[in-house]
Structure 1
């Protein structure tokens, strides 16, 4: 498998302080890939990781587009010039035909190799997608107004404080998303891990440590939602057109 891709075993945590205190953490498995050099596992193992353009950005994209082409359309729709250099993505592939990407981060560079901006693509459990295009500071920090319904317990009000630094030279990844809303304590989600070369042995070891990772992530999120609902946290109604509008 000749590729620049790396595997990132990650630890993901969520902290909600009110109206109920609810915290949890779990392990997952993501990949760090160059969108122009996507890995292709050997025959027989391809069900363990497949990178499919249709899993990213709007479902209305043209047939046959690459991930780069779909990202270009998405950022141009927000009035941003398409990146001219390398695009590095932290994402989850399809595993056994299924993927669930609560957050994919694309670090978009210019021709000189300098970071131009970051695209944070968010998926919810209803099949909706939305991307935030942000210009981060030297520490990888940025803010963005919340514009997409994600949790059934939060409306679309508030501001995100994002920490999305590019992976360090030694492969360390450390991201944070903090939702600030008037009258509410912040909701915080963090992700951390260390990337390692994607070789066939490392892929197999990773599957043993985090088998069927996208399936388990989706299941865990739903279980935590049920626990919050059972503790009396009210559900915020979702406008059914909101996902389609946000994906444009």
Structure 2
């Protein structure tokens, strides 16, 4: 994962981790001794009140007039590790019953406990635009728009989110990765290489936030409660 900020101070960061690419209707269940290394809970997504992640997604889509009619969903997210999870961005590629892409849902979490979901109608290249409608970084106000490139992952993962703001250079986040089978040996290697992986993500966000603050970046006030979803 890479972030590049161009103004008011140039700042770049790079962080290595691993994500899960799963079907929320068939979430993986690890052998009991390893279950602390990966878990998925409906409480960690959308309103947190649905009986399953898929039910939560379908409820969100229904609010926006979208019915997948039982079509397949592919989800990219962090799993719970030793009881902790933090997902800055969870993606859901949604298909109709014939396999035709219907939409993409981008669910964003901030470090203040807030959640927000964007409904995206991406083109054939996975490109979509949406107005920013959620407070994420304390150094950016809630304005501008996101230009996203979110193609369905194949053997390679190549995602980008570019924040465009009036009169300011863009902020860009990219994610690159290689798809691997989720075997027990592979998971153990990743757990050893990236222990407490989701805790490390949230800690890294705070660490870099402190560094930017010490460099003099002005903090933007956090707005009041906003709606949880947008569409484009």
Identify whether the pair has TM-score above 0.5, normalized to the shorter chain.
yes
SS in 1 for 2:25: coil
- Which one of 41, 44, 57 corresponds to residue 52 of structure 1? 41
- Which one of 185, 207, 216 corresponds to residue 232 of structure 1? 216
1:17 aligns with 2:1: no
Deviations 1:154-203 (A, max 9, x none): 111001000000012xx211100000000100000000101111111111
Kept after mapping to 2: 8 A contact 1:58/1:247: no
Kept after mapping to 2: 8 A contact 1:83/1:108: no
Report the equivalent of 2:189. Answer: 205
Report the equivalent of 1:4. Answer: none
Kept after mapping to 2: 8 A contact 1:165/1:174: yes
Report the equivalent of 1:246. Answer: 228
SS in 2 for 1:185: strand
The CA deviation at 1:145 is: 0.5
Kept after mapping to 1: 8 A contact 2:118/2:229: no
Equivalences, count: 230
SS in 2 for 1:45: helix
Deviations 1:106-140 (A, max 9, x none): 00010001111100110000111111111111111
The CA deviation at 1:78 is: 3.0
Q: Residues of 1 paired with 2:203 and 2:212: CA distance?
A: 14
- Which one of 133, 139, 157 corresponds to residue 153 of structure 1? 139
Q: Residues of 1 paired with 2:175 and 2:135: CA distance?
A: 20
Report the equivalent of 2:205. Answer: 221
SS in 1 for 2:17: strand
Q: Residues of 2 paired with 1:148 and 1:224: CA distance?
A: 20
- Which one of 119, 122, 141 corresponds to residue 133 of structure 1? 119
1:95 aligns with 2:81: yes
Question: TM-score, with normalisation over the residues of structure 2?
Answer: 0.96
Q: Residues of 2 paired with 1:128 and 1:14: CA distance?
A: 21
Q: Residues of 2 paired with 1:208 and 1:247: CA distance?
A: 36
Q: Residues of 2 paired with 1:238 and 1:226: CA distance?
A: 17
Unaligned runs of at least 5 residues, structure 2 = none
Question: TM-score, with normalisation over the residues of structure 1?
Answer: 0.90
Kept after mapping to 2: 8 A contact 1:128/1:247: no
Unaligned runs of at least 5 residues, structure 1 = 1-11
The CA deviation at 1:26 is: 0.8
Report the equivalent of 1:107. Answer: 93
Kept after mapping to 2: 8 A contact 1:146/1:157: yes
